[in-house]
Amino acid sequence: MVIGGAEDRLQDRVILRRFIELSGGMEARILVLGAASADPDASWLGYEPVFQELGATNCRPLFIRTQEDANHPDIVNQILSAGGIFMSGGDQRRLMGLLWETEAARAMHTAFHLQGCCIGGTSAGAAVMSRLMLAEGSTPRLPEKDAASLDIGLGFVSGAIIDQHFSERRRLGRLLSVLAQRPDMLGIGIDEDTALVIERSRSIEVIGKGAVTLIDGRSMTSNIADIQAAERLELLGVRLHLLPSGYRYSVIAAEQGARRMPASLLDAVELLVAPGPLRG
């Protein structure tokens, strides 16, 4: 579950309710990882009462403050026994600095790929879901060369680059800019209080109050090799799909309730739901 940030914690709480459901229900073991935050304790205190009010009786914090923590057997065992792991917002570079090449990251992949654990992330926790992570950058009105930089993420979504707070912070130009660097990837822009639910080998679904912008530049041509940093990009042949909340798109043609898709969107969804590699 990839969340664009600012998910509703006070009213209907549709996204967090679905996360609990996908994690195994009210009695599932759910871990909240606030390591992206500059104040992980405050991050946990912000989510603890919400999960309690929603009836999640076995929700606990997962405190990883150092790479030593991320390699500790107790942390690994907690991850391997979890039905759901929720990564809060903050700074995605901080989170990856703690998790990269650690036993905790390997355990998350084992839990996800082999044990059916639901991995959820909001804001920075969403950015790290991709293998190529949007690390930082400006938000140009029009796409520019080198407007943003990429780094290594956790890789649960292996074929796409994710941006969050998408419509609210007008990040279309930024996402197009990074796709010019990596036209082999999809771009996913997720609005606030909106989540993209990816069910491996099956479907994607948009829930919440906004939309998901899906950009496919795999047939695109650009002038990126011919211009200097900060100069305007020419992008030809870009495909853009706007997926509003409340719709489900399945690669299984007979699935009840799924939307009919043009071939171009079906091709993109097939890439999104394809299982990525287990990183051991």
pLDDT in tens, 155-208: 999 999 999 999 999 999 999 999 999 999 999 999 999 999 999 999 999 999
> Would you state the structure tokens that stand for residue 47, as one six-digit string?
């989510």
From 126, 145, 165, the end of a domain falls on 126
3-state secondary structure of 110: helix
Which phi and psi angles does 130 have, rounded to 5°?
-80, 155
Same domain, 166 and 189: yes
* Cα–Cα distance, 178 to 175 (Å, whole number): 5
Same domain, 198 and 77: no
pLDDT of residue 158: 92
Q: Do 13 and 139 belong to one domain?
A: no
Give catalytic status of residue 123 as yes or no.
yes
d(CA 97, CA 153): 10
The answer to whether 28 and 95 have CB atoms below 8 angstroms apart is no
Q: Which of 165, 205, 222, 250 is catalytic?
A: 165
Segments forming the whole domain that contains residue 57: 1-126
Q: Do 77 and 145 lie in a common domain?
A: no
Task: Please pick, among 88, 123, 177, 250, the residue that the annotation labels catalytic.
Answer: 123
The total of structural domains in the chain comes to: 2
Cβ contact 42:36 at 8 Å: no
Same domain, 67 and 198: no
* Mean of per-residue pLDDT scores for the chain: 97
Q: 37 an active-site residue?
A: no
User: Per the residue annotation, which of 7, 144, 192, 205 is the catalytic one?
Assistant: 192
Closest alpha carbon to 197 in 235, 264, 250: 250
Q: Helices 40-53 and 14-23: crossing angle, nearest 10°?
A: 80
Please tell me whether residue 1 adopts helix, strand or coil conformation.
Answer: coil
280 located within any domain = no
- Which of 96, 126, 156 terminates a domain? The answer is 126
For the whole prediction, is pTM greater than 0.95? yes
239 plus 177 within the same structural domain: yes
pLDDT category at 260 given cuts 50, 70, 90 is: confident
Domain-ending residue, one of 76, 106, 126: 126
Phi, psi of 186, rounded to the nearest 5 degrees? -85, 155
| 250: annotated active-site residue | no
pLDDT computed for residue 255 by the predictor: 82
